[in-house]
Structure 1
Amino acid sequence: MAQCEANYWLLQKLMPASEVRDSWEFAVERAKGRWEVRIQITERMRYTTTVQVFRQDADDSEWLRAPRLTVRLYHDAHLAEVLACEEHRRLNVKYSYPNHKMYQADEKAQFNRFLGEWLRHCLANGHSLHEISLPVR
């Protein structure tokens, strides 16, 4: 739960004005060039928001594709939980091991930790690709 709470606040930092905007794009510097990361709202409800978090690159190789995470933000509880990653739909909290899809017992927790690491990396090494407009006073 602590990881989901941290992910919620990291997403809030990366998604300013989320009540009026639907997407955010960032350039994240790396050793050779940069990645472009996009956060896209796919569903808004009264107490939740669902977003896609993904990297969009032309240089993705076949053996190492950038993940596309589906994340639900629970605004009343201040939590953000990974629901799905690419073909891994509706992740269970815990899996028996071994299982037919060979998921680790803590597969969902690993995706949530990955999301947190990725969001922290975006905050530390990225910059927005959007123009910033300051309110007129």
Structure 2
Amino acid sequence: MLVTDHKTRLHGRQNDLSDLMAIYECNYIRLRQLLRELDAYALDTSYVSQAARALDLHLHLHERSRYTTTLSLTYLFQDALGEFPAPDIRVRLYHDARLAEVIACGRRRGRRDAVYDRMRNRYSLDRKWHMNRFLQKWLGYCLRQGHRFLPPGEADAALPDWEGLAGGPLR
């Protein structure tokens, strides 16, 4: 049973499971726009997407099975302790359901452990909604900046007009 927090409201109403599922669905679509031909990427390998006037976006594939893929997306920053990832989001894609869910997020400046870890903690529906809504907005931002991960060995080809296919701008 999912617990909700009455403090968080979207357009004057409480977020519910259908809102969260819609975000999961949107995240899956945006991740597939960012990653063409997901099966072409090797496990335990890092990839970098570079876009003009934008931070490099880093991708790491952790695991893949018939129905799921787990990956991380992040930017890399430097501090006194060295290089660290932020926001460092780990996402699980459910290919049969066409959903993508944040399963961990962490590593803010000065903090190296995961702040949000769905696999180890029980979170309210609103907390899950916030984490996945952040991913939704961030993926839209990355796509608008021009980030795309090309399959290894593929030249930088003309990319489809995702906004036109989606019926408007990605937000």
TM-score (norm 1): 0.73
Match of 1:41 in 2: 61
Which is richer in helix? 2
Alpha-carbon distance in structure 2 between the residues aligned to 1:4 and 1:118: 13
Mapping for residues 80-95 of structure 1, pairs under 5 Å: 80-86=100-106, 87=114, 88-90=116-118, 92-94=122-124
The answer to whether 1:26 aligns with 2:52 is no
Check whether the contact 2:50–2:147 (CA below 8 A) recurs between aligned residues. yes
In structure 2, the residue corresponding to 1:34 is in which secondary structure? coil
Question: Match for 2:94: what amino acid?
Answer: Y
SS at match of 2:104: strand
Secondary structure, counterpart of 1:107 in structure 2: helix
What SS is found at the alignment partner of 2:40? coil
RMSD after superposition = 3.0
C-alpha offsets along residues 9-47 of structure 1, whole Å, 9 cap, x if unaligned? 100011112101145422355xxx531111221100110
The code of the aligned residue for 1:107 comes to R
Answer whether contact 1:35 1:57 (CA < 8 A) is retained.
Answer: no
Q: Which runs of 5+ in 1 are unaligned?
A: 95-104
Identity %: 37
Q: 1:55 aligns with which of 62, 75, 82?
A: 75
Any stretches of 5+ residues in structure 2 without a counterpart? 1-20, 107-113, 158-171
For residues 125 and 59 of structure 1, do their structure 2 counterparts lie closer, same or farther at Cα, with a shift above 3 Å needed? farther
How far apart are the structure 2 equivalents of 1:134 and 1:125?
Answer: 16
| 1:79 to 1:16, Cα distance in 2 relative to 1, 3 A | same
**Structure 1 runs (4+) greater than 6 angstroms displaced:** none
Alignment of 1:102-121 (within 5 A): 106-121=126-141
**Quick one: distance in 2 between partners of 1:25 and 1:117?**
20
- Mapped to 2, the partners of 1:115 and 1:12 lie a distance apart of 14
Whole-Å separation in 2 of the counterparts to 1:125 and 1:8: 18
Q: Which residue does 2:24 correspond to in 1?
A: 4
Partner Cα separation in structure 2 for residue 119 and residue 25 of structure 1: 15
SS at match of 2:36: coil
Q: State the SS of the aligned residue for 1:35.
A: coil
Equivalent position amino acid for 1:109 in 2: W
The size of the alignment, in residue pairs, is 120
In the aligned structure 2, how far is the partner of 1:92 from the partner of 1:11?
25
**Per-residue Cα deviation, 1:66-112 (whole angstroms, up to 9, x for no partner):** 21111000000000000011212225341xxxxxxxxxx61111110
The equivalent of 1:98 in structure 2 is none
